[in-house]
Structures are given as C-alpha cells and as structure tokens.
Amino acid sequence: MIKYYDKLILSLTEVDAHPSFLIHGLTGCKFHCYHCFNYDELIVKPHPDFYTVEDVIGYIQKQGDLFEYLLFSGGEFLLAPLDSLISDLGKIRKASPKPIIIYTTGIELEKMKKLSELKLVDGYHIDMKLPYHLLTDEDFDLIELTMGIKVKDLSLLNSLTKAIEFVVQHDAGYSRVRSVKYPFLGESAFEECREFIHELNEKYHKHVPYDANQFIYQECVKE
C-alpha cells in the first residue's frame, strides 16, 4: 500500500500556469540533494497520519473542476512497489480523465517503462541534477555534494541518462526535463544539459522543454 502525504496541493506554478493537483507519496528517496526542502518533511519526519489512495481519489473527484493535471511527487514516488503503483494509478485513471504526470529522478527506469506501456502515466518531469553524460570518475565529489550519495562508478549516472532519453523518446506532450541552479555550479553545466536535451529532441523529433530553475535555500521557503 502506498501512503500519501495528507496535504494535497492545488498549484498554478507546476505546469506553465495550468492548475494542477500535486500529490506527494511517502515513499522515501535514495538521494539527499543539496538543501532539498522536501527531505525533512517528507523523508525524515514520521507520518502516523496519512492518506490512502481512496482518500486521494475522494479529493480528486471533489476538486475535479479546479485542476487540469494530476502530479505525483515525493521524495521519489516511483520507489513504491510496482504492483502498488499499477494498482493505485489504475484506480486513479478510472476515477479521473486528467493527465497523470510523475516527478522523478529517473532512478526507476524499468518501472517508468512498465507504467508507460500500461498507459497509466502520460508524462514525466525528470530531474537532470548534473550533465550526467559528461561526468567522469573525477566528479565523484561533485556528485556527492549535489545528490547526497557516494558512488564508486558511473553506472547510476549512465542509468539516469538513459531514463532522460526514454522520457524524451516517448514524450506525448506532457514531459519536461528540469535542473536546479545549485550555487556551486557554473552556467556552463546548464548549457551542457540544455544542449543534450536539444540533441535528444532532434534525434527523436520531439519538443520536450528543458528548465533550469533558480535555487532556493530552505530558509527562504520556510519564511
């Protein structure tokens, strides 16, 4: 069973000013990215009170006239078991015709492929924390600073790159790639990411947007 954060958000800022219903799964995360402002609340903090998928569906049906998209985030929503993802998204698909978008780091590529194959997801907003395709074994300290994880080789980064390519290749008009302008990264890092997405769009004849979003410190969010 997937547990859901008991604060559902109607937002105008997530999808180009289109009203969206933002739903967080209490599914953990394998990363601890630099100054992540969701980590303490959604990953570390215990949640004895939570919503079930039935609770979420009830709110979706009540608020259906107020939003255009259903967004699922975390943590990393796709860390939930595949059977649970299929079950919950299938129920939500039956309850609402609104497009379903999942926010992801790309760490669960096989689940992404399966959910897309089953037509349970319309698009992915996937993070590109760094220009993964250009990293070498000399960048392990940068990876740890940015993503909060230690790596011994580049296999994870190669997998994340493949996930981004999958998102672009199979885009149906709902996906996008996103970076955060961490203060220790130069502008060239984001230009490299942008160029990589441009090349993938050219390769697959797609138009997936790339966003490099301003970094915001946790303290500013709390204030």
Q: Which tens digits make up the pLDDT trace of 94-136?
A: 999 999 999 999 999 999 999 999 999 999 999 999 999 999 9
pLDDT, mean over the chain: 94
Is 219 a residue whose pLDDT tops 70? no
Q: Is 4 domain-assigned?
A: no
d(CA 23, CA 119): 19
Q: Which tens digits make up the pLDDT trace of 204-215?
A: 999 999 999 988
Give percent of the chain with pLDDT exceeding 90.
87
Confidence category of residue 65, pLDDT binned at 50, 70, 90: confident
d(CA 107, CA 33): 14
Q: Is 46 domain-assigned?
A: yes
Q: Is 81 domain-assigned?
A: yes
Number of domains in the chain: 1
Give this prediction's pTM. 0.94
Q: Which tens digits make up the pLDDT trace of 133-162?
A: 999 999 999 999 999 999 999 999 999 999
- CATH classification of the domain holding 149: 3.20.20.70
Q: Is 1 domain-assigned?
A: no
- For residues 72-98, give the mean pLDDT: 97
Q: Is 72 domain-assigned?
A: yes
For residue 35, give its domain range.
9-222
Contact predicate 20/55, CB 8 Å: no
Q: Is 2 domain-assigned?
A: no
**CA angle, 174 then 75 then 134, to 5°:** 70
